Each structure stands twice: as C-alpha cells, then as structure tokens.
Structure 1
Amino acid sequence: MSLIITDECINCDVCEPECPNEAISQGEEIYEIDKDKCTECVGHYDEPQCQQVCPVDCIPFNENNRETREQLIFKYEKLTGDTFVE
C-alpha cells in the first residue's frame, strides 16, 4: 500500500465513494485503506482520487511501504481482470 489515512481524518465520508477499487472503508475510529486493494488509482485515474477530495489532506503516501508503478499495474490487473493500457 502506498497510501494511508492518518489520524487527522475527520470521517467526512468523501473519500470512500471516490475509490475505484473499494479499498477505503470505515475503521473503528477513522477510515482505513486496504493495502491489497489500493493501486493509487493506477489504471483508473492519473492521480489518487481520495487525495484529491480529502478536505484535510490526511491521505499521504506511506513512505514505509512504497510500491513501484509496475507493482501497482500488476495489482490493478489482478483486481480488475483488465489489461493495463497507458
């Protein structure tokens, strides 16, 4: 997973419906991102949509778990069954 939601999250509900992979869900206290479903929107959009709509900028890249573009493309193809096209 390359994105995380920090504890600055205000549970505003705008990120969850924007995720094309349904990787965002309500956790015990704040929203969480499923690392196995997050592709940073690779294959769907040019930029992570959750970051674009977050009003408090609480969805940074997880520097402790960065994925390469190739890894994200592979994950996209596995999740969707589609072939990635640039």
Structure 2
Amino acid sequence: MYPLITEIQYTSIKPGQDIRILNWKEFSFLERVKDTQVINFAPQTIGGNHRHPRTEWYIAFGELILYWLDKSGKRHRRHLNPKGKLLLVEIPPYLP
C-alpha cells in the first residue's frame, strides 16, 4: 500500500505579485470528504505516527516530508513540496 501522489497546479497566479490561488471546487475527490481541516506544522515538528480508518488527503504549501511503511515494513520517505511544486497526497486507510 502506497500513498497516491499527484502534481497539481494553482488555479491562478496574480501577475507581478506573489499571490497564488487554489480553488477547492476543482478537486473531484472533495465529494468523498466528510471533514475538512487546515493543519499547520511548525518547523521541526513531527506529527502523525498513527493510522486512520479513512482516506486522507494532504497538500503541503511548504517543506514537509511524509514517511510511511509498506506491507513488508520497509520505511519510505517523500518530500511533499519539492522545489515549490504542489502535490496532492491521498493516503489510503490504515497506511502506517
């Protein structure tokens, strides 16, 4: 079991300004979402280390590293905002 990682684009970027817009209505997965939250991790913070019985989606707007274990117990790691790219991460239920 692995997270599904998809590169996404901002809806628009205002010319001459560092303002980026992401329109949630453009994401088809939202019809499956029961609860939405915005979570901010302070630098050097470790979060997670648990499993959920439901699918979760994440978009990192800054430096964030995702770690997970595959079925054999091997640990994997992925940067979620490499060089400023936006990645939508779908984490399947019970992924450790």
Structure with greater helix percent: 1
Structures share a fold, TM > 0.5? Answer: no
Larger radius of gyration: 2
Structure with the largest fraction of strand: 2
Measured against the shorter chain, the TM-score band is under 0.3
